[in-house]
Structure 1
Amino acid sequence: MTAIRRLLLGLLLPALLAGCAQPVWAPDEAVARAAYRHPGPPSVTLITVVSNRSNSGAHSALMINASERVLFDPAGSWWHRAAPERNDLHHGITPQILDLYLDYHARETYRVVLQTVEVSPGVAEQALRIAREYGAVSKALCGRSTSDILNRLPGFETIPRTVRPRPIMAAFGALPGVRTETVRDDDADENRDLLRAQQTAGANG
C-alpha cells in the first residue's frame, strides 16, 4: 500500500465509522434487568461467520465474559428483546440467548467458528469497558472494530487491525490456550423468518 493510499484510508476510515453507524441505546432498567453473569472463567471469544461456499469471512463479533457476559456484535443484523443493546453491545447473553444468536447465523451457506481464550479478570473487565465505550459501528466494518478492541488488550497484540474477518480468526487461533468450536446448521439461507420467530417466541416466553 502506498503512502498516499494509507493517508487516504486514515482520513476516510474515521468518517466511515462515525457517519453511517446506527446508534441504539437501551434504557438503564432494561440493561440492569438483563445483566447475566456466566459461571465460567473470565474469557474473550472471537465469533466468526464463515461462508461455506467461498470459505471467506463474513462477520466478526466478540463475546466477553467479565463481571457480566456481553456480546459485541458490530453492525450486526441480529437482535432480541431479552438482550438489550447499547451501540452494538448486547447484554444478557445467557446460554439460551447465545444459542439463538448462533442459530441465526449458522445456516446452509454459513458456519460459525467460536474461538475462546481464558484471560485474567482484569483483562476481561478491560475488554468489557472498551466494548461499552466503542460506539455504534458502520456497515462492513465489523472486522475493523473487533480487531481494534482485541489489539488493545494485553496478550492480544498480535491480532492485526484489519477489516477482514479471516486474518483476525487466523491470528486469534494462534494464541496460546485457544479453544475452537464450529457450529453448523442446514437451515435455509434466508434467515429473516427465523429472526421473527425468535422474537415471537421471546415475547410469548
Structure 2
Amino acid sequence: MIRLIVLLLVPLVLAACGGAEPVWAPDDEVARARYRHDGPPSLTLMTMINNDSGAGGHTALVVNGSQRVIFDPAGSFSSPAVPERNDVVIGVNPRVMAFYIDYHARPEWRVVTQEVRVSPEVAQRALALVQNNGAVAKAHCAKTTSALLRQIPGFGHVRQTWYPLQVMEDFARIPGVKTEEFRDSVEEEQGYVDPNREFYR
C-alpha cells in the first residue's frame, strides 16, 4: 500500500517535468546545429530545485563528447532554433546552454549543475546511451537518467531512483565534481529581458 501511495505521489513531486513525445529533427537541421565544445570531455548533471519546498523537480544530463548535447528527459524545453531528437537537445553551444539554464531558473526554481571530467571513451558511451534511449515518459526524468548513469563506467554507484535530489546526492560522491548554482537574476525580476531570448523562440 505504501509503495502504491509513493508511486501515485511521484508525478506531483516531479511537477517540473513536462510531457514527452517522440521528436525527430531533420538531418539538415541537426547537421547545422551540431556543436563540439573545446572543453574537456565531461558529464554534467543538472537538477532543478524548488526554492520554497526544496524538492527536486527535474533532472537533465549534459554530455560533452564528440559533440555537446543535453539529455532532457520528459523536459519542457523547446525552441524552433534548437533541434531535438527524442529528448536530446542538439547543438549545445554557450548560448544554448545559457538559455537552457535561464529557461529553468525562475523565482520558484534554481538550477544546480555538477560537472565531472571523464575520458573521451566514457563521454562517447554516455552520448550513445542518451541518443539511443528514445523519448522519455512524463515524470521519468530522474529514473531514466539514473538508469543510464549506472551503465557508464565510474557511475555504477548511482542508485536508480524517481527522485532528482537522490541522483544529485549520488553524483556528488564522484571525486572532482564541480558544483555550481544558478538562480533567477535580480535584473530579470526587475523587468530586464535577456536579448538572447528572442533568438530561441
Q: TM-score scaled to structure 2, two decimals?
A: 0.84
**1:114 corresponding residue in structure 2:** 113
* Aligned counterparts, 1:26-175, within 5 A: 26-175=25-174
CA shift, 1:21, in A, is: 4.3
- Looking at structure 1, the residues matched to 184 and 113 of structure 2 have their Cα atoms a distance apart, in angstroms, of 14
Letter of the 1:109 partner, please give it. E
Return the offset for 1:79. Answer: 1.3
Question: Deviations along 1:77-134, whole A, 9 cap, x unmatched?
Answer: 1112232000000110001111101001001111000000000000000000000000
SS in 1 for 2:124: helix
Give, in whole Å, the separation in 2 of the partners of 1:180 and 1:21.
28
SS of the equivalent of 1:182 reads strand
Letter in structure 1 aligned against 2:44:
T
Contact 2:52 2:108 in 1 (8 A): yes
CA deviation vs aligned residue, 1:107-163 (integer Å, no higher than 9, x gap): 111100000000000000000000000000011100011111111100000111011
**Which has more helix, going by share of residues?**
1
Structure 1 residue runs without a partner (length 5+): 10-19, 189-193
How far apart are the structure 1 equivalents of 2:171 and 2:106?
Answer: 23
Structure 2 Cα separation of the partners of residues 83 and 172 of structure 1: 28
Question: 3-state DSSP class of the match of 1:162?
Answer: coil
Root-mean-square deviation (CA), in Å?
Answer: 2.0
Residue deviations 1:9-33 (CA, integer Å, cap 9, x gap): 9xxxxxxxxxx84100001111111
Q: Partner residue of 1:176?
A: 175
Partner secondary structure for residue 48 of structure 2:
strand
Measure the CA separation in 1 of the matches of 2:84 and 2:20.
14
Paired residue total: 181
Cα distance in 2 for residues equivalent to 1:134 and 1:58: 21
- Where do 5+ consecutive residues of structure 2 fail to align? 8-18
Q: Residues 37 and 166 (structure 1 numbering): CA distance in 2 closer, same or farther, change over 3 Å?
A: same
- Asked if the contact 1:82/1:92 (under 8 Å) is kept, the reply is no
Maintained 8 Å contact 2:82/2:200: no
Secondary structure at the residue paired with 1:129? helix
User: Distance in 2 between the 1:146 and 1:202 partners?
Assistant: 25
Take 2:53 and 2:173, find their aligned partners in 1: how far apart are those partners? 22
The percentage of counterpart residues that share the same residue type is 49
Find runs of 4+ consecutive structure 1 residues off by over 4 angstroms: none
Give the Cα–Cα distance (whole angstroms) in 1 for the partners of residues 199 and 24 of structure 2.
23
Distance 2:82 2:172 in 1: 28
